């Protein structure tokens, strides 16, 4: 990953959950991407095991453990 992605890993909480827009960014709100891939690429990566599986918080809400996203960034660096 790039230096900016590594710096953004410092902004991720030690524990808790991140929603997909927090991971992939949201241009409407100006949220920068931690992992700069499209939603389709992200979901394909989750399905193939490249990216961590999410946790269903409700029927329409999936989130990812902050620890899993930190680990993903550290492994890619």
What are the tens digits of pLDDT across the range 28-65? 999 999 999 999 999 999 999 999 999 999 999 999 99
Q: Are strands 61-65 and 55-58 parallel, antiparallel or unpaired?
A: antiparallel
Model pTM?
0.81
User: What single-letter DSSP state applies at residue 71?
Assistant: H
Backbone angles phi, psi at 65, to 5 degrees: -65, 135
Beta bridge partners of 16: none
Q: Kindly tell me if the per-residue pLDDT of 70 is higher than 60.
A: yes
Token code pair at residue 43:
């979901």
Contact 46, 52 (CB under 8 A): yes
């Amino acid at each position: 990953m790039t230096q900016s992605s590594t710096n953004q890993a410092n902004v991720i909480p030690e524990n808790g959950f991140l929603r997909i827009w927090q991971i992939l960014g949201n241009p409407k709100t100006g949220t920068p991407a931690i992992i700069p891939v499209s939603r389709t690429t992200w979901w394909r990566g989750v399905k193939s095991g490249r990216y961590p599986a999410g946790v269903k918080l409700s029927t329409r809400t999936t989130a990812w453990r902050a620890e899993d996203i930190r680990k993903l960034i550290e492994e890619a660096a």
